A and B are shown apart, each in its own frame.
Chain A
Amino acid sequence: MWQLLNTDSSLISPINALVADVPKPAGPYKYTSPNISSYAVTSTTVANLGFEALLKVNTEGEVFYYVIDVAAYTNDVSVTSSPDSKPLLVRNGIGFRVALAAWHLKAGASSNVGLVAASCQVDGGQSSLLVKIFAGDVAKLDKIAEVTRFNGDAFNATTLKNLAGFVSDLSLILVQDGSNIPPVPVKAGALDPNGYSPQKAVAANHYAIEQLKQGRPASQLDAWVREHKEWRDYLSPVIVRTAFANLGVQGFNSGGTQETKELAQKIQGLGT
């Protein structure tokens, strides 16, 4: 992906090894409000995260894998290097992680966990869940330990609602006992390994004017890059937005006016 900051769960296992040497911060620990984040992942990632059991699904159709993190994070952010020296952003936290395998999904239902839950409820989709708790101390707390009863369960709208309920529980626990529970490395965000280059800035600006020439909105950047892999990691949405704004087009859903179309045409015509 070409995101400025791409949260990539596949980077979690190397991170654990990397930060093992870093001295643990001393308590009391300060956590920000917990949240749920979910990711669609590959079978390899699911296995790397220690959920190998989910690979044993016996079906001829396609299996989709998801990871749902229910966690609270500390405010500290550190940047470190992965073994192949790509920059990584590391966050520490407490909470638990749910891995989900789903199959026999209705077409189009695989795009996020909400739709997966719905498909499993009404359209005959099937699923299986596994739960892991990040920080050992959290497991001692009854309310959180209960989450492991989901193991092996099917995933549906009720599960999703229950997970949200656990977030509330986690919030309360953080208020009462959180400052005594030491965090562990939870998440690593891969910072764009190539970062900025002058070529990328030229490309993003030129891309933007080309879009306005054709009357297309900035929101189509994602779809376009997916079809054109050579430009992956190359076109910064912030620079595209900047060039749009310079021609007087605000927001992501506007493709401009007849006037901006003509202006863009003039710019793109220079030197031709």
Chain B
Amino acid sequence: MPLIEEVPVMPYLASFGGVNDVVLSLISVAPTANLRLTAKLPRDVKYKALDLTLVNTNLSVLASLGFGDTVSAKSSSKMFCSYMDLCVSTTIDNDDKDSIVARAKFGLGFRLAITAFDVDVKYSSSFASIAAAAKLKMGYTNYQVVAIGGGLKALEVARPLISNLTGDFTIETVETIGSVQSALTELYIKRNDGMTPELLSVDLNLEKMAEVYSGGKTRNYRDLLQGQAYALQRAQRQVSSEEAVKQISTRPDWSGVSKEVVQDFYARILDLQPGQKPRSEQVKLMLFGGT
């Protein structure tokens, strides 16, 4: 099963729109009925240590994870956003068959967001090099910490990190991260004493997403992309669904376009009958984003 791995989310599941156990961070990604995470963590969880990898991301993703400071930061093309999970974790399979959420990772520890402004791109790839850039006064760096799960018992081990909760991302920060990591590992892996882990990230099922976005016509994401790109262009030229489907066979380049995806696009997204001609403005926002 093809997956989009480790989409970071806020740890909130709630009832929304009459549906229980919805992963709230995903509500603009799919209908709530396809966003349920129903699998529960087993009572006796075995954690494993996470690799400390810095994940490059963008500003809106950091904001969606609850890093308030970055919301106010004015992004520029010279700004690099990244985050790192400093956690022990465990992954479970989701058991809701309609959900685009295939697996969920739960963790205990901390999530760090790091932003760097005006830092050379070659320094943006690892947290040690960002710290080095800060040391050399090459641009501005900033970090913020959010605690994930663990409750109060985690506090003592994390005090060095908490008292440096926000500020420049420096070599000292890197050292603190190292010591908190070993303390966390000691605390949670060797002596698991019933703390509550929180949802960290989810793996999304690409086939299920294609199915949702195509009204059930395909489980192949590439077919979805191609069929909808074709349909958008045809609709922009005021060609009806019926005609657009016939025209697929007129050019060899178009032969891979899925008839069903095109028909679904016209019927479900444009709300048109097979013979009805679309108006160009119906597809404007969908067609011209990012041009």
Contacts and interface: CB of A to CB of B under 8 A. Distances in A.
A114 to B, nearest CB: 5
A34 interface: yes
Contact of B57 (A208, A226, A252): A252
A209 B219 CA distance: 19
Contact of A114 (B168, B231, B291): B168
A53 interface: no
Interface residues of A, number: 98
Q: Which of A165, A224, A272 has the most CB of B within 10 A?
A: A272
A268 interface: yes
Nearest to B227: A270
Contact of A31 (B28, B152, B230): B152
B28 A192 contact: yes
Interface string A244-266: 01100001110000000000001
Nearest to A77: B12
Nearest to B222: A246
Could you say which of B13, B58, B206, B257 has the most chain A C-beta atoms within 10 Å of its C-beta?
Answer: B58
A29 B212 CA distance: 40
Interface in B218-246: 221-222, 224-226, 228-234, 237, 244
Contacts of B213: 198, 201-202, 205
Interface in A2-55: 2-7, 30-40
Contacts of B144: 35-37
A4 B206 contact: no
Contacts of A114: 69, 140, 142, 166-168
Contacts of A7: 63, 66, 68, 71
A195 B30 CA distance: 8
A228 B166 CA distance: 32
A85 interface: no
Nearest to B153: A175
Contact of A269 (B237, B253, B269): B253
Given A5-B10, A201-B213, A231-B289, 20 more contacts: A4-B28, A4-B29, A6-B63, A37-B66, A37-B144, A111-B73, A171-B159, A175-B155, A178-B152, A192-B27, A192-B28, A206-B229, A206-B289, A209-B225, A209-B229, A223-B76, A238-B28, A242-B204, A252-B56, A270-B233
Interface of B: 4, 7, 10, 12-17, 24-32, 55-61, 63-64, 66-77, 80-81, 117, 121, 124, 140, 142, 144-147, 149-152, 154-156, 158-159, 162-168, 196, 204, 206, 209, 212-213, 215, 221-222, 224-226, 228-234, 237, 244, 253-254, 257, 265, 268-269, 285-287, 289-291
